[in-house]
Amino acid sequence: MSEQKAVKRPRHLMDPNNPQRAVSTGDRSLGNVQKWVMSVLAVTTIVHMQVGLILGAMAIGEGHTDAQVGLMVIATIFGMLAVAAGMAIHQRHPLSPWLLLGLVPTLIGIPFVF
């Protein structure tokens, strides 16, 4: 009639009589991290190109409004492509309302160009 007293183990050790459930690795998988890194690199690279086009439109000067408008249109397209690339990398449909986010750098640059 001697009962064994349960051994109290430190919390960092596993209790073989009470194993913990496995943590799902879906959120921490390598593929998910690779998607985020790839999308951040793609979007920032394309947005740098967009900002470069806007700076080019600023550098042209007053007499070439047609060239400035052309560069701003191309910059807008690049911004929208950046958002679409990020969406495509995450396997979402690239045509979404998020494409309007690609207009933001161009809208910020318009007062400086014209």
What pLDDT score was predicted for residue 12? 75
Q: How many CA atoms does the CB half-sphere of 68 hold within 13 Å? A: 16
pLDDT of residue 26: 60
Smallest CA-to-CA distance from 82 within 51, 53, 54, 44 is with 44
pLDDT number for residue 80: 98
Of 18 and 103, the structure prediction assigns the larger pLDDT to 103
Can you read off the two tokens belonging to residue 54? 């806007």
pLDDT of res. 23: 66
Cβ atoms of residues 65 and 45 within 8 Å: no
Task: Quick: pLDDT tens for 34-78.
Answer: 999 999 999 999 999 999 999 999 999 888 999 999 999 999 999
Amino acid at 37: V
Q: Please answer whether residues 103 and 75 qualify as being in contact, where contact means their C-beta atoms are separated by less than 8 angstroms.
A: no
The neighbour count for residue 90, using CB atoms within 10 Å, is 13
* Region 70-99 average pLDDT: 97
pTM exceeding the 0.85 threshold for the entire prediction: no
What is the Cα–Cα distance from 101 to 72, expressed in whole angstroms? Answer: 15
